[in-house]
Each structure stands twice: as structure tokens, then as C-alpha cells.
């Protein structure tokens, strides 16, 4: 009996507890308005839905919510049941509400009217982010695709945090602290602001990189092969690179590629782990499997009908026993190679556009791999149509005249590459976006070629100012590299200037008021007449300088004496040239006729202080330019040989030069001038490039009685920015570490000789230069590279004293920045070793030199 009583008591208590829980749930989800109905899970009833309403919505569509609730008028529903609880579940699952309640508004007999009461979640006004730079914040906002009016829920909060973490991870901030909170927006009902506080902490570096499993390669070698990721070391001047996972993945690929290239074709990374040491450092552990080292075995050819196997083997250049490298094999087969001699070039230069070769490993035994190179030569293709696309500003004819692949010729890979290089030299297009789309027509054996280009800003401006010697000097220069004279009178073409014909127009002015003024103009047309590559150039200049003093009474510069020392120079030059077909298309031959006038008045420090002199000369220049890039070349050369000569006036002017005054002697300038300039570029390791340059110049006379010309001499030292000193009629040669024009002959011992050498220049010079260059930025907006240099050079008064090994030396470092609108800007720091006689150390040293828009003759 006691047991029965205890069991009965437990049942009664359980039923009462369950009933109470059901009633509580019913009170939360159902609110009867009329009648005494009591909804109970112990006694469910069937009702017909008479109507459904929704209350509490502010932004959501009630009809859509009714569809989600799945309550339809006229349907029969059991209350309470899973059907009623699913109404709440379905709506809550949308993530739009903080609370949903199903209420019974009215119950009439077997008909029930529902109301769904909802409390909407707040809407997003904006996301406020602090703790990052302005540019970083803007980038994160773009990635978040931030829109006002979005529901603020946990998904939005998680997305915001994860997006910021991914972005910072790319920037090497691997362990940031991110705190996200919500703040009511007082200006909007049911709106909130998401407040994100970011502490990026420090960027992360790799403190240790450990390798296991490597036997033939040391840890040091493996770290070197792991590109983009560097271990912290004291000797890295600029610090190790910041660690991020994208660079790490790239580095692992480079590591495996290097091992494969060394003959370890089975090498793989078994595992890698990145462990956080602290907020600033991680440790990287990489387990590798090297595998055996393989070598090339027997190489056979199949499918080749055009060329014999022994000829192909000779071009391939791989011998049995050579370390096996798939990368090297592919380069020898399909290019590109530094020599340009690969199997694909042999075929594709002869029209075999669809040529293919498939290397098959036929046998692997011990450490040797035998290959069969299976050839598909295909048909020869002839060029049918050649078109250009993407030149929105430049006219088609400017591009078409640079194209070497002509209709009717056999397709040639080499000519295609030369065409790409010629397009790049125009300077009007983005080299990285220049491409070609060959479209073969197998039915008739022809191929259509479409070259694609992308215009880039090519005009340049030089705007600078400086203060020195008690005066302010301002410079304004404008260069239009894609000018069009044909459209000068076409008003529609002025946007802001007529462009599109590949002509070049330059205007430059420099002045400090009365003391110094210089103005120059130049125009060039690379295809005179438009049919042949005949270069035409026209230039003119005028320059004046005078010694004037500052009058404190009037507050202006004015003449010091009745005969103010001054010099004025005027000049005009006309040039004709053309590209040569022999020995190759890289040669250019130019002829120039030049007229210069020099007017001197009491100009001290010159060979004659007062008088007028004229210089009429003819210049012949032959050059060869095979540089692969005009801004940062990594291969090729630029050679230039120039001869300039005036008429030999002393043979027919009946002037007694032995007794003539200096003014009479130099009235008609007489000389012959020889110059040679050579530049060579070669890639050393990766993008690290070596440049070597040698220059030589000599100016001589036809007769010993005339003496060396007072003009057209050479000034060595400084930045070389002007190229030609209009004030002294001399040519300026750059040599970093030394001040402008201070490298004078060693035999200039007295003040007069030093003064003449510095003002007029020297008749003989030589200069050598070596540079190591490395690019650190290469984009359409800017190109930047660093360099280390060694310069050497000297000048002489007489050829008998000339010694090419007796030079003054300097070394240093520098940087170059190419901006499309300004051209090539440079800064160098040089240390000069050898003193200049007659000058103090402060006079001949110039550690810093700056350059702008430098050309080939300088140090580009």
C-alpha cells in the first residue's frame, strides 16, 4: 500500500507540473481574448482559421511574413500542436526578430482568429571603424559592401569581424584585437550603429624558419629558395619582410620549383606549421622530402619532318648526364631563352604557328630519365590581316608603322616580339597590357594578327624652383609625346591639345629675372611624310645671362657698371634621320645641321671676353638601340657614335691666326668633334640588373694655328641635367659625387687655367660607369628602382696627355622614380675620392645630385 500511495503521488505531481508548464507556454504563445477556452496539450482541439494579422512590424512586408508563417484562412488546425509552434520557429529562423508570439485574438465556436506579435531586430545605420588608417578603413568598407538598413544580427557581426581579420592578415597584422559593440542611433527609430574598435598590434615577422628532412640542401639554402619569406637577421639593413600567408604559399611554390630545377623532381613539402611565438613573431617549421637527384639520359625525337633530329638536338643544347630540370627543358623547347635560340622559335619563325612538342618520359632507371620529344609541326601559316585594338587616342597609322609582321609574310615569333618592343618604345602604351591575339584560319593556311594595347598618360611636365647665389630660379617645361600637327586647326581635336600622331613637342623656360633667362623649343616627327621611317626634328633656343647687382634703394636688380658683363646665345637645329635595315632594324642614322650664335660683352673667364662668334656645323650620328625596356632595361644595349664638324674656315678666310685677336680667331668657330657612348644591360639574378657604360669625347682642330675651339667643349661632374650649357656653349657630362663641371684637367695649375676649364670646359673627356639596379615597384602609376653605382672619369687638354686609366672616382647609391607625368626622377648620394687641383674640398664635392627627365646621354 505504501508503494502504491507513493507511485500515485508521483503521478499526480508530474501531471500537475506538466499542466503548469503547458499553461505557461500557452500564455506566452496564445492569448485568448474572448471565452473561457484553455489551450492544453492534454486536451488539444481542432479549429478553423478565420483570419491572421501581424502586429509590431516597421520595415517588413506583412504578406511575406504570412507566407513564411504558413497560416492560411480556411485551413483546419489543431491547437496546441506542432503546427502552432512551427509558426514561431519559421519566423524566428529568418533572423529578423528578437521575439515572436502567436496569439489567439478571438475564438468563436470552432473558428479562431490569430495575431502574430513580432519585435523586429534593429537596422544598421552605419559601421564606425577606428584603429586603422584612412586608406585601410576605406578598403575594408568596400569589402564589407556596407549598406544602411541591413538587419543587425550575429551573422553581420561575424562577417564584419572576419572581413577585417582577413584584410589585416594580408597586411601582416596576424593577431589583431577587434571589439564590436552596438550603439543606439538617436536620429532613427529602431536603428543602431555598429562600433568596431581595432587594435592591429604589430606586424608579424618570421623569427625562425626551421627545416627537417633536407639532406643535400642546407637550411640556409632552403631559406634562400623560400622566396617572399625571410627570417629575422641583424644584417638585413631594411629589416626582414613582413610575414603573411599569401607570401608563404608563394614561397613554398618557389622552394619546390627550385628543388625540381636542381634535379630533385620528386621533392615535396610533407607538412608546414606556423606557430605564434608572441604578438610580433612566428616560427615556421617545414618538413620536406628531397628524393633522389635525377639526370638527363637519352633524348630522341619523333614526328619531325622539317628539321633533322641532330639539328634539333644541337639547338636544344641538353647533353646526357646533365642535371634534370623540367623548367630548363621547357625553356629550351618553347622559350623564352636569353639567347633567343629555342626549338619553338626555329619553327615559329618559319610560319609554324601551331607547332607543339610534348616531352614524354619513356624510361626512368636509377637516377636517369630518358625522354622522347614528340613533335607536331603542323602547317605553315601566312599573315593575312594585321589589326590593332585599344588605341583610343593614338591613330592606327602610328601603331601600324611599328609592326614588323606584314600581310603576305610567313608568321614569325621573333618579328612579333620585335613588334611588341617597338610599340613599347613609343611610350604611349602600358607595356604590361600590350599583347597579341593570333587567329589561325586552317582552311586556307593564313593567320590574322590583332595587337592589343592600352593607352597611358605620356605627356610630361617639369616644374621646379630653387634658390642659390642670391637669386630664385624657376623652371617650367612641357613635353607632349603624342602630338598631332595635322589637327592644329581642328577645334574638336583640342582635348586639351591635338594628339594621336606620335609627334613630340617640347617647350621649356627657365628664368631668374634679369640675371638669367633661357627658352627652348623642339619638335620631332618620327615618320616624315607618313610612309617611311624618316625622322625629322626642329629645335631652337635662346639664352641670356648677365651680372647684375641688387640695388637696396630701388629694391631691384640692375646693372652694376655701364658695360654689364653678359652673354647671349641663340641657336637653330634641323635633323633628318632614318632607321636602317642593315645590319639590323635596331640601327638609326641621323644628320643634323646646326647654327649657333654667341654674343659676349665683358664676359670674364672666357677665351675672349667681348665679341660675336658663329658656329655652323653638320652632325652625323649612328646609333643602335636593342634595350628591352626604355625605363628599366634588363637586357640589350644602346650604342651611339657621333661626328660633328664645321667648315675649315682657316683654309680660305685669309686670316692670319698667329697675329689675330681672340675675337677674330674664334669669330667663325672651327673644329671637329667625336663622341662615343655605350650602355650595356644584363640581368644577373632575377630582377637584379647590371649596367655598364663607357663614354668618350674629343674636340680637335684642323690646324695648329687656329687652336682648340672655345665652344662645344666638355664639362664633367654633377647631375648632367642640362645636357648642354647654353651660357658657355659646352656639353655637360654627369659624374656623381663631384660638383657641376669641376672635373678639370690635372695640368690646370693656375687660377686662369682653372677658370677657363670650369667656364669653357675641356676638349677631351672619358667616363665609365657601373650600376647594380633592383626594382621595388612596377605599376602603371609609378616605377621605382634602387641602385648602387661606381663612376670614374677625367678630362684632358691635349691628346698626348690622354690616359683612359687616369681617372677620378666616386661610388654611391641612388633611386629612380618614373612617373608618367614627370618622367624619370632621380636622387643619388655619391662619395668622391680624388681631389681637384686649385679647389677646396667643399668646392669639388657634391654628395647629393638630383635629376629629372634624364635621357640616354645621362645616367637613366
Concatenate the DSSP letters of all residues of 44-60 into one string. Answer: -EEEEEEEEEEES-SSS
> Which of these, 728, 769, 761, 740, lies nearest to 860 by C-alpha position?
769
Q: How many other C-beta atoms lie within 10 A of the C-beta of residue 679?
A: 23
Q: In what order do the strands lie in the sheet with 268-276?
A: 205-212, 281-289, 268-276
Share of the chain above pLDDT 90, in %: 40
Q: What is the pLDDT of residue 218?
A: 93
> Does 790 score more than 90 pLDDT?
yes
Q: What is the pLDDT of residue 529?
A: 82
Q: Residue 137, SS3?
A: helix
Given a contact cutoff of 8 angstroms between Cβ atoms, the answer to whether 607 and 756 are in contact is: yes
> Could you give the dihedral angle defined by the CA atoms of residues 622, 770, 791 and 722, in that order, rounded to the nearest 10 degrees?
40
CA atoms within 13 A on the CB side of 431: 20
Given a contact cutoff of 8 angstroms between Cβ atoms, the answer to whether 201 and 175 are in contact is: yes
d(C-alpha 289, C-alpha 266), whole Å: 8
pLDDT band at 25 (very low <50, low <70, confident <90, very high): very low
Helices (H) and strands (E) in the chain, counts: 15, 39
> Phi and psi for 512 in degrees, rounded to 5?
-130, 25
Of 763 and 514, the one with more pLDDT? 763
d(C-alpha 436, C-alpha 414), whole Å: 13
> Which cell goes with 687?
630582377
> Does 311 score more than 50 pLDDT?
yes
> Does 468 score more than 60 pLDDT?
no
pLDDT digits (tens, 9 = 90+) for 696-721: 999 999 988 888 888 888 999 887 76
Domains and CATH numbers, the chain: 25-120 (3.10.20.310), 123-199 (3.10.20.310), 205-289 (3.10.20.310), 295-376 (3.10.20.310), 382-452 (3.10.20.310), 604-860 (2.40.160.50)
Q: What is the pLDDT of residue 259?
A: 94
Of 731 and 642, the one with more pLDDT? 642
Given a contact cutoff of 8 angstroms between Cβ atoms, the answer to whether 105 and 33 are in contact is: yes
> Does 84 score more than 90 pLDDT?
no
Q: What is the pLDDT of residue 474?
A: 81
Q: What is the pLDDT of residue 456?
A: 85
> Which cell goes with 831?
662619395
Q: What is the pLDDT of residue 334?
A: 86
Of 46 and 370, the one with more pLDDT? 370
Measure Cα distances from 593 to 241, 518, 577, 589 in Å.
Answer: 55, 22, 12, 14
> Does 841 score more than 50 pLDDT?
yes
What integer is the mean pLDDT of 618-632? 91
> Does 308 score more than 90 pLDDT?
yes
> Does 27 score more than 50 pLDDT?
no
Which residues are within 8 A (CB) of 367 and not within 5 positions of it... i.e. 6 or more apart?
A: 292, 293, 294, 295
pLDDT band at 728 (very low <50, low <70, confident <90, very high): low
Give me the residues paired with residue 99 across strands. Answer: 119
Give me the residues paired with residue 588 across strands. Answer: 579, 623
Whole-model pTM: value is: 0.63
Q: What is the pLDDT of residue 41?
A: 65
pLDDT band at 755 (very low <50, low <70, confident <90, very high): low
Q: Which of 460-469, 626-635, 787-796 has the highest mean pLDDT?
A: 787-796
pLDDT digits (tens, 9 = 90+) for 133-170: 888 898 888 888 766 667 888 888 888 999 999 999 88
Q: What is the pLDDT of residue 177?
A: 92
57-71, 374-388, 433-447: least confidently modelled range: 57-71
Q: Residue 359, SS3?
A: strand
Count of all residues that appear for the chain in the document: 860
> Does 593 score more than 70 pLDDT?
yes
Q: What is the pLDDT of residue 287?
A: 95
107-121, 452-466, 496-510: least confidently modelled range: 452-466
What integer is the mean pLDDT of 78-106? 84
Q: Residue 363, SS3?
A: strand
Which residues are within 8 A (CB) of 289 and not within 5 positions of it... i.e. 6 or more apart?
A: 213, 266, 267, 268, 269, 270
Q: What is the pLDDT of residue 19?
A: 40
> Which cell goes with 183?
550603439
User: Scanning the structure block, which residue is given the C-alpha cell 616605377?
Assistant: 783
User: Scanning the structure block, which residue is given the C-alpha cell 478565420?
Assistant: 50
421-451 in b/e form (b: 16+ CB < 10 A) is bbbbebbbbbbeebeeeeebeeeeebbebeb
User: Scanning the structure block, which residue is given the C-alpha cell 665683358?
Assistant: 602
pLDDT band at 119 (very low <50, low <70, confident <90, very high): confident
Measure Cα distances from 221 to 235, 273, 283, 670, 671 in Å.
Answer: 17, 19, 18, 63, 60
> Which cell goes with 320?
646526357
> Does 282 score more than 50 pLDDT?
yes
How buried is residue 250: exposed, middle or buried, by Cβ count under 10 Å (0-12/13-18/19+)? middle
pLDDT digits (tens, 9 = 90+) for 237-246: 555 568 888 8
> Does 635 score more than 70 pLDDT?
yes
Q: What is the pLDDT of residue 548?
A: 57
What integer is the mean pLDDT of 377-404? 92
Give me the residues paired with residue 571 across strands. Answer: 541, 596
Share of the chain above pLDDT 70, in %: 86
Q: Rounded mean pLDDT of the chain?
A: 84
> Would the CA dihedral through 465, 467, 469, 472 be positive or negative?
positive
49-58, 535-544, 692-701: least confidently modelled range: 49-58
> Phi and psi for 262 in degrees, rounded to 5?
-85, 5
pLDDT band at 23 (very low <50, low <70, confident <90, very high): very low
646-650, 806-810, 840-844: least confidently modelled range: 840-844
> Which of these, 719, 684, 742, lies nearest to 859 by C-alpha position?
719
Amino acid at each position: 500500500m505504501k508503494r502504491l500511495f507513493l507511485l500515485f503521488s508521483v503521478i499526480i505531481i508530474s501531471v500537475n507540473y506538466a499542466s503548469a508548464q503547458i499553461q505557461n507556454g500557452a500564455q506566452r504563445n496564445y492569448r485568448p481574448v474572448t471565452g473561457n477556452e484553455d489551450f492544453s496539450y492534454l486536451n488539444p482541439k481542432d479549429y478553423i482559421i478565420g483570419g491572421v494579422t501581424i502586429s509590431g512590424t516597421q520595415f517588413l512586408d506583412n504578406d511575406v511574413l504570412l507566407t513564411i508563417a504558413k497560416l492560411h484562412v480556411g485551413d483546419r488546425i489543431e491547437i496546441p500542436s506542432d503546427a502552432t509552434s512551427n509558426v514561431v520557429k519559421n519566423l524566428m529562423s529568418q533572423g529578423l526578430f528578437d521575439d515572436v508570439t502567436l496569439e489567439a485574438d478571438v475564438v468563436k465556436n470552432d473558428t479562431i482568429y490569430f495575431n502574430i506579435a513580432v519585435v523586429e531586430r534593429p537596422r544598421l545605420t552605419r559601421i564606425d571603424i577606428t584603429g586603422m588608417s584612412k586608406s585601410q578603413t576605406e578598403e575594408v568598407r568596400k569589402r564589407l559592401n556596407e549598406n544602411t538598413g541591413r538587419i543587425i544580427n550575429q551573422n553581420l557581426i561575424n562577417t564584419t569581424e572576419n572581413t577585417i581579420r582577413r584584410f589585416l592578415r594580408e597586411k601582416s597584422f596576424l593577431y589583431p584585437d577587434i571589439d564590436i559593440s552596438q550603439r543606439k542611433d538617436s536620429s532613427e527609430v529602431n536603428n543602431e550603429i555598429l562600433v568596431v574598435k581595432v587594435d592591429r598590434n604589430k606586424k608579424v615577422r618570421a623569427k625562425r624558419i626551421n627545416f627537417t628532412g633536407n639532406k643535400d640542401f642546407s637550411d640556409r639554402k632552403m631559406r634562400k629558395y623560400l622566396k617572399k619569406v625571410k627570417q629575422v637577421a641583424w644584417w638585413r639593413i631594411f629589416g626582414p619582410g613582413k610575414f603573411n600567408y599569401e607570401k608563404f604559399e608563394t614561397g613554398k611554390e618557389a622552394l619546390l620549383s627550385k628543388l625540381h630545377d636542381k634535379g630533385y623532381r620528386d621533392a615535396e613539402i610533407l607538412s608546414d606549421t606556423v606557430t605564434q611565438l608572441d604578438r610580433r613573431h612566428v616560427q615556421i617549421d617545414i618538413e620536406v622530402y628531397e628524393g633522389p637527384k635525377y639526370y638527363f639520359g637519352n633524348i630522341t625525337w619523333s614526328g619531325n619532318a622539317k628539321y633533322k633530329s641532330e639539328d634539333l638536338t644541337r639547338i636544344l643544347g641538353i647533353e646526357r648526364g646533365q642535371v634534370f630540370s623540367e623548367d630548363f627543358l621547357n625553356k629550351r623547347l618553347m622559350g623564352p631563352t636569353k639567347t633567343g635560340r629555342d626549338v619553338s622559335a626555329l619553327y615559329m619563325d618559319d610560319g609554324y604557328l601551331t607547332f607543339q612538342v610534348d616531352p614524354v618520359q619513356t624510361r626512368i632507371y636509377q637516377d636517369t630519365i630518358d625522354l622522347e620529344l614528340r613533335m607536331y609541326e603542323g602547317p605553315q601559316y601566312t599573315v593575312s590581316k594585321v589589326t590593332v585594338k585599344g588605341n583610343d587616342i593614338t591613330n592606327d597609322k602610328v601603331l601600324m608603322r611599328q609592326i614588323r609582321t606584314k600581310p603576305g609574310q610567313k608568321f614569325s615569333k621573333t618579328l612579333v616580339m620585335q613588334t611588341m618592343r617597338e610599340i613599347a618604345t613609343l611610350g604611349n602604351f602600358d607595356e604590361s597590357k600590350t599583347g597579341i591575339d593570333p587567329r589561325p584560319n586552317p582552311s586556307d593556311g593564313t593567320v590574322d594578327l590583332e595587337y592589343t594595347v592600352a593607352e597611358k598618360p605620356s605627356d610630361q611636365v617639369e616644374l621646379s624652383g630653387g634658390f642659390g647665389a642670391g637669386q630664385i630660379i624657376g623652371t617650367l617645361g612641357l613635353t607632349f609625346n603624342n602630338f598631332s600637327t595635322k589637327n592644329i586647326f581642328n577645334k574638336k581635336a583640342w582635348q586639351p591639345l591635338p594628339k594621336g600622331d606620335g609627334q613630340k613637342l617640347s617647350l621649356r623656360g627657365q628664368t631668374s629675372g634679369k640675371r638669367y633667362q633661357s627658352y627652348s623649343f623642339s619638335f620631332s616627327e618620327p615618320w616624315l611624310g607618313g610612309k617611311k621611317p624618316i625622322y625629322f626634328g626642329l629645335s631652337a633656343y635662346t639664352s641670356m645671362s648677365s651680372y647684375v647687382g641688387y640695388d637696396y634703394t630701388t629694391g631691384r636688380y640692375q646693372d652694376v657698371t655701364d658695360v654689364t658683363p653678359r652673354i647671349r646665345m641663340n641657336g637653330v637645329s634641323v635633323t633628318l634621320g632614318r632607321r636602317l635595315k642593315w645590319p639590323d632594324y635596331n640601327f638609326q642614322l641621323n644628320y643634323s645641321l646646326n647654327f649657333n650664335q654667341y654674343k659676349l660683352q665683358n664676359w670674364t673667364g672666357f677665351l675672349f671676353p667681348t665679341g660675336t662668334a658663329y658656329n655652323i656645323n653638320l652632325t652625323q650620328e649612328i646609333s643602335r638601340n636593342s634595350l628591352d625596356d626604355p625605363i628599366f632595361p634588363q637586357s640589350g644595349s644602346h650604342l651611339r657614335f657621333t661626328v660633328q664638324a664645321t667648315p675649315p674656315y682657316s683654309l680660305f678666310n685669309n686670316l692670319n691666326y698667329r697675329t689675330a685677336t681672340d675675337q677674330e680667331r674664334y669669330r667663325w668657330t672651327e673644329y671637329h668633334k667625336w663622341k662615343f657612348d655605350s650602355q650595356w644591360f644584363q640581368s644577373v639574378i632575377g630582377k637584379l640588373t647590371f649596367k655598364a657604360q663607357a663614354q668618350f669625347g674629343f674636340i680637335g682642330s684642323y690646324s695648329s694655328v687656329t687652336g682648340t675651339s672655345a665652344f662645344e667643349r666638355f664639362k664633367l661632374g654633377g647631375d648632367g641635367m642640362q645636357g648642354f650649357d647654353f651660357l658657355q656653349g659646352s656639353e655637360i657630362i654627369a659624374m656623381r659625387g663631384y660638383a657641376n663641371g669641376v672635373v678639370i684637367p690635372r695640368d690646370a695649375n693656375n687660377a686662369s687655367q682653372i677658370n677657363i676649364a670650369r667656364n669653357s670646359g675641356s676638349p677631351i673627356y672619358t667616363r665609365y660607369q657601373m650600376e647594380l639596379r633592383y626594382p621595388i615597384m612596377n605599376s602603371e602609376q609609378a616605377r621605382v628602382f634602387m641602385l648602387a653605382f661606381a663612376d670614374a672619369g677625367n678630362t684632358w687638354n691635349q691628346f698626348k696627355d690622354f690616359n683612359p686609366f687616369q681617372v677620378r672616382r666616386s661610388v654611391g647609391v641612388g633611386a629612380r622614380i618614373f612617373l608618367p607625368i614627370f618622367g624619370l626622377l632621380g636622387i643619388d648620394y655619391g662619395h668622391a675620392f680624388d681631389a681637384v687641383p686649385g679647389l677646396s674640398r667643399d668646392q669639388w664635392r657634391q654628395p647629393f645630385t638630383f635629376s629629372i627627365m634624364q635621357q640616354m646621354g645621362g645616367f637613366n
